[in-house]
Structure 1
Amino acid sequence: GSVGRFVNHSCDPNMEAKPVRIDAALPRILFCASRDILAGEELTISYGEGSDAHGGGSKCVCGAEACRGSLPREESLYEEEEKR
Protein backbone atom coordinates (compact mmCIF):
# COMPACT_ATOMS: atom_id res chain seq x y z
CA GLY A 1 0.00 0.00 0.00
CA SER A 2 0.83 3.67 -0.17
CA VAL A 3 3.03 5.35 2.43
CA GLY A 4 0.25 7.95 2.70
CA ARG A 5 -1.55 5.60 5.08
CA PHE A 6 1.05 6.54 7.71
CA VAL A 7 0.30 10.29 7.45
CA ASN A 8 -2.31 11.91 9.70
CA HIS A 9 -3.94 15.35 9.90
CA SER A 10 -2.73 18.19 12.09
CA CYS A 11 -3.72 21.86 12.14
CA ASP A 12 0.03 22.45 12.68
CA PRO A 13 1.49 19.96 10.15
CA ASN A 14 5.16 19.07 9.69
CA MET A 15 4.75 18.20 5.98
CA GLU A 16 3.03 19.46 2.84
CA ALA A 17 1.45 17.29 0.15
CA LYS A 18 2.27 18.38 -3.40
CA PRO A 19 0.91 16.79 -6.59
CA VAL A 20 3.56 15.73 -9.12
CA ARG A 21 3.36 13.95 -12.46
CA ILE A 22 5.95 11.46 -13.63
CA ASP A 23 4.01 11.34 -16.89
CA ALA A 24 0.43 12.20 -17.80
CA ALA A 25 -0.82 8.74 -16.84
CA LEU A 26 0.94 8.51 -13.47
CA PRO A 27 -0.02 11.26 -10.98
CA ARG A 28 1.66 11.00 -7.56
CA ILE A 29 1.68 12.87 -4.25
CA LEU A 30 5.01 14.15 -2.93
CA PHE A 31 5.26 14.66 0.83
CA CYS A 32 7.78 17.40 1.71
CA ALA A 33 8.89 18.38 5.21
CA SER A 34 7.79 21.93 6.05
CA ARG A 35 9.99 22.00 9.17
CA ASP A 36 12.48 19.74 10.92
CA ILE A 37 10.87 16.46 11.97
CA LEU A 38 12.17 14.76 15.09
CA ALA A 39 12.87 11.02 15.21
CA GLY A 40 9.68 9.25 16.28
CA GLU A 41 7.47 12.29 15.59
CA GLU A 42 4.16 11.60 13.86
CA LEU A 43 4.10 12.60 10.16
CA THR A 44 1.27 15.06 9.53
CA ILE A 45 -0.28 17.18 6.79
CA SER A 46 -3.23 19.58 6.91
CA TYR A 47 -6.35 18.13 5.31
CA GLY A 48 -7.51 21.71 4.66
CA GLU A 49 -9.44 24.43 6.45
CA GLY A 50 -12.12 23.48 8.96
CA SER A 51 -15.74 23.93 7.96
CA ASP A 52 -17.60 25.04 11.08
CA ALA A 53 -18.88 28.11 9.22
CA HIS A 54 -20.28 25.89 6.44
CA GLY A 55 -21.44 23.00 8.61
CA GLY A 56 -20.80 19.32 8.07
CA GLY A 57 -17.13 19.09 9.06
CA SER A 58 -15.93 16.36 11.40
CA LYS A 59 -14.51 17.34 14.78
CA CYS A 60 -10.72 17.70 14.73
CA VAL A 61 -8.84 16.07 17.59
CA CYS A 62 -5.27 16.71 16.39
CA GLY A 63 -4.25 18.30 19.69
CA ALA A 64 -2.31 21.15 18.07
CA GLU A 65 -2.20 24.40 20.05
CA ALA A 66 -3.70 26.20 17.03
CA CYS A 67 -6.31 23.50 16.29
CA ARG A 68 -9.16 24.85 14.12
CA GLY A 69 -11.66 22.48 15.74
CA SER A 70 -13.01 20.79 12.62
CA LEU A 71 -11.92 18.97 9.49
CA PRO A 72 -13.08 19.95 6.02
CA ARG A 73 -16.16 18.43 4.44
CA GLU A 74 -15.22 15.91 1.79
CA GLU A 75 -16.22 18.17 -1.12
CA SER A 76 -14.06 21.02 0.23
CA LEU A 77 -10.97 18.88 -0.41
CA TYR A 78 -11.51 19.56 -4.13
CA GLU A 79 -12.36 23.30 -4.00
CA GLU A 80 -8.73 24.41 -4.44
CA GLU A 81 -8.29 22.14 -7.49
CA GLU A 82 -11.47 23.55 -9.09
CA LYS A 83 -10.13 27.13 -8.75
CA ARG A 84 -7.15 26.33 -11.01
Structure 2
Amino acid sequence: MVIEYVGQSIRQVRCKYQTMSPYLFRVDQDTIIDATKCGNLARFINHSCNPNCYAKVITVEAKKKIVIYSRQQIGINEEITYDYKFPIEDEKIPCLCGAENCRGTLN
Protein backbone atom coordinates (compact mmCIF):
# COMPACT_ATOMS: atom_id res chain seq x y z
CA MET A 1 0.00 0.00 0.00
CA VAL A 2 1.30 3.44 -0.96
CA ILE A 3 -1.51 5.81 0.02
CA GLU A 4 -5.29 6.04 0.38
CA TYR A 5 -7.10 8.43 -1.98
CA VAL A 6 -9.16 10.56 0.39
CA GLY A 7 -11.65 13.37 -0.02
CA GLN A 8 -15.32 14.17 0.35
CA SER A 9 -17.65 11.29 -0.48
CA ILE A 10 -20.40 12.53 -2.79
CA ARG A 11 -23.27 10.83 -4.58
CA GLN A 12 -23.12 10.50 -8.37
CA VAL A 13 -26.38 12.48 -8.77
CA ARG A 14 -24.95 15.48 -6.88
CA CYS A 15 -21.72 15.36 -8.86
CA LYS A 16 -23.52 16.02 -12.16
CA TYR A 17 -24.44 19.48 -10.93
CA GLN A 18 -20.99 20.45 -9.66
CA THR A 19 -18.19 21.95 -11.71
CA MET A 20 -16.08 19.10 -13.01
CA SER A 21 -12.87 18.73 -11.04
CA PRO A 22 -9.72 16.82 -11.98
CA TYR A 23 -9.77 15.33 -8.47
CA LEU A 24 -12.89 13.16 -8.83
CA PHE A 25 -12.38 9.41 -8.39
CA ARG A 26 -15.29 6.99 -8.87
CA VAL A 27 -15.73 4.39 -6.14
CA ASP A 28 -18.80 2.71 -7.65
CA GLN A 29 -21.93 3.58 -9.68
CA ASP A 30 -23.32 5.76 -6.87
CA THR A 31 -20.29 7.22 -5.09
CA ILE A 32 -17.40 9.50 -6.04
CA ILE A 33 -14.52 10.74 -3.91
CA ASP A 34 -13.95 14.46 -4.49
CA ALA A 35 -10.46 15.48 -3.34
CA THR A 36 -10.76 19.05 -4.66
CA LYS A 37 -10.97 20.79 -1.27
CA CYS A 38 -10.15 18.12 1.30
CA GLY A 39 -7.84 15.61 -0.34
CA ASN A 40 -4.33 14.43 0.41
CA LEU A 41 -1.17 13.94 -1.67
CA ALA A 42 -2.80 11.05 -3.58
CA ARG A 43 -4.72 13.58 -5.69
CA PHE A 44 -1.43 14.70 -7.25
CA ILE A 45 -0.45 11.25 -8.56
CA ASN A 46 -0.19 11.42 -12.35
CA HIS A 47 -1.44 9.03 -15.02
CA SER A 48 0.84 6.72 -16.98
CA CYS A 49 0.09 4.05 -19.56
CA ASN A 50 3.00 2.15 -17.95
CA PRO A 51 2.34 2.86 -14.24
CA ASN A 52 4.26 1.69 -11.19
CA CYS A 53 1.06 1.59 -9.08
CA TYR A 54 -2.60 0.65 -9.39
CA ALA A 55 -5.78 1.80 -7.67
CA LYS A 56 -8.13 -0.61 -5.95
CA VAL A 57 -11.44 -0.14 -4.14
CA ILE A 58 -11.45 -2.02 -0.84
CA THR A 59 -14.02 -2.28 1.96
CA VAL A 60 -13.01 -1.51 5.54
CA GLU A 61 -15.65 -1.71 8.27
CA ALA A 62 -18.44 -1.62 5.64
CA LYS A 63 -17.03 1.55 4.04
CA LYS A 64 -15.50 1.58 0.55
CA LYS A 65 -12.07 3.18 0.22
CA ILE A 66 -9.69 3.78 -2.69
CA VAL A 67 -6.14 2.63 -2.06
CA ILE A 68 -3.09 3.03 -4.30
CA TYR A 69 -0.81 -0.04 -4.30
CA SER A 70 2.63 -0.42 -5.84
CA ARG A 71 3.18 -2.86 -8.72
CA GLN A 72 6.95 -2.92 -8.18
CA GLN A 73 9.75 -1.43 -6.14
CA ILE A 74 9.61 2.38 -6.32
CA GLY A 75 12.93 4.15 -6.08
CA ILE A 76 13.75 7.34 -4.21
CA ASN A 77 12.65 10.37 -6.27
CA GLU A 78 10.77 8.11 -8.74
CA GLU A 79 7.40 9.52 -9.75
CA ILE A 80 4.39 7.55 -8.52
CA THR A 81 1.85 6.91 -11.30
CA TYR A 82 -1.24 4.82 -12.00
CA ASP A 83 -3.55 4.29 -14.99
CA TYR A 84 -6.57 6.61 -14.63
CA LYS A 85 -8.69 4.27 -16.82
CA PHE A 86 -11.13 7.00 -17.82
CA PRO A 87 -14.38 5.75 -19.44
CA ILE A 88 -14.47 5.60 -23.23
CA GLU A 89 -16.14 8.67 -24.72
CA ASP A 90 -16.45 10.20 -28.18
CA GLU A 91 -14.21 13.15 -27.31
CA LYS A 92 -10.73 11.80 -26.61
CA ILE A 93 -8.45 13.26 -23.93
CA PRO A 94 -4.84 13.24 -25.17
CA CYS A 95 -2.31 11.34 -23.04
CA LEU A 96 1.09 12.96 -22.61
CA CYS A 97 2.62 10.38 -20.26
CA GLY A 98 5.55 9.63 -22.56
CA ALA A 99 5.53 5.88 -21.83
CA GLU A 100 6.92 3.66 -24.57
CA ASN A 101 3.56 1.84 -24.84
CA CYS A 102 1.40 4.99 -24.48
CA ARG A 103 -2.18 4.49 -25.75
CA GLY A 104 -2.34 8.12 -26.91
CA THR A 105 -5.51 8.95 -24.95
CA LEU A 106 -6.71 8.75 -21.35
CA ASN A 107 -10.06 7.31 -22.50
Q: Normalising to structure 2: TM-score of the pair?
A: 0.57
Aligned mate of 1:12, from 44, 50, 68? 50
Residue 80 of structure 1 aligns with which residue? none
Query: What 5-or-longer segments of structure 2 have no aligned partner?
Result: 1-38
The structure whose residues are more often helix, as a share, is 1
Moved over 3 A (4+): none
Residue 78 of structure 1 aligns with which residue? none
Root mean square deviation of aligned Cα:
1.9
Q: For 2:44 and 2:86, how far apart are their aligned partners in 1? A: 21
Residue 73 of structure 2 aligns with which residue? 36
Percent of matched pairs sharing the same residue: 39
Q: How many residue pairs end up in the alignment?
A: 69
Q: For 1:5 and 1:29, how far apart are their aligned partners in 2? A: 11
Residue type of the partner of 2:92?
G
Residue type of the partner of 1:16?
Y
Residue 47 of structure 1 aligns with which residue? 84
Residue type of the partner of 1:31?
I
Residue type of the partner of 1:57?
K
- 1:15-59 residue CA offsets vs partner (Å, 9 max, x unmatched): 0111111122x32111111011111111100012785xx631200
Q: Does 1:56 align with 2:56?
A: no
Query: What 5-or-longer segments of structure 1 have no aligned partner?
Result: 73-84
